[in-house]
Amino acid sequence: MAKQVDKSSQKLPDPAQTYRRPHGKAIPEAGLLGNILDKLGIVFGVGIFLAMLILIQEVVLRYVFNAPTIWAHETTIFLVAIAFIYGGLYCTARNSHIRVVLIYDAVPPSVRRVLDVVISLVSATASAFFAWAAWLMVQRAIFRPDGSVRFESTGSAWDPPFPALIKLSLLAVMSVMALQFLILAYNHARKSILPSGDKGPDQ
């Protein structure tokens, strides 16, 4: 009886293998672009660390020396904002988005491969629409009505052009995200039609 229980327990799926994602790196289907995006994540991680240091400095200057700066608050918001925007692209390369997998986990691997392609194509289309919406915001943020260039600024005493830069970052990230999803769709589709032992080179 004990042996039968052990054999049946071995047939249970391993939840840890659901996403087939290598620990701490971009998934193979993300290709070269995914590896680049994964490595760039450290830059935005450092930005968040710098934002923390700036806030600590501002607290000390304000409450100990009574000499607050005019740039700390806006700089920390900017650094955290662009890190948040890049986070979506970073998660795309790593396939680490939070998602509901009730149906995905219940279907066989062959159906999952089809779903991977469909999900990637739908996500690429959505990303392209968001990139277009971001471009409309960028047009208003960096161009005057007469066509001359003037970056939208915060309007504060320091008045940095952070609003325009954030919108430009959003446009760039959504455009690259659409491309990354297309690469994922292509590699998922190719993987589903190649022999099981031949994964082929990543794009």
Mean pLDDT, the chain, rounded, equals 87
Is 90 exceeded by the pLDDT of residue 202?
no
- How far apart CA 94 and CA 122 sit, in angstroms, is 18
Q: Is 63 exposed, middle or buried (0-12, 13-18, 19+ CB in 10 A)?
A: exposed
Tokens matching residue 92: 């795309």
Q: Are 124 and 102 in contact (CB under 8 A)?
A: no
- pTM of the entire predicted model: 0.82
For 28, 126, 152, the CA distances from 200, given in Å and listed in that order, are 11, 28, 47
Contact between residue 37 and residue 85 where contact means Cβ atoms under 8 Å apart: no
- For residues 194 and 85, which has the higher predicted lDDT (pLDDT)? 85
Q: What is the pLDDT of residues 178-192, one digit of tens each?
A: 999 999 999 999 987
pLDDT band for position 201 (cuts 50, 70, 90): very low
10 Å CB burial of residue 190 (0-12, 13-18, 19+) is middle
- Main-chain phi, psi angles of 196, to 5 degrees: -60, -30
Q: Which residues of 69-88 are buried (b: 16+ CB within 10 A; e: fewer)?
A: eeebbbbbebbebbbebbee
Query: What CA–CA distances, in Å, run from 201 to 83, 120, 127?
Result: 31, 19, 25
Which one, of 135, 124, 140, lies nearest residue 176 by Cα? 124
Residue 97: Cβ within 10 Å count: 10
Per-residue pLDDT band at 86 (split at 50, 70, 90): very high
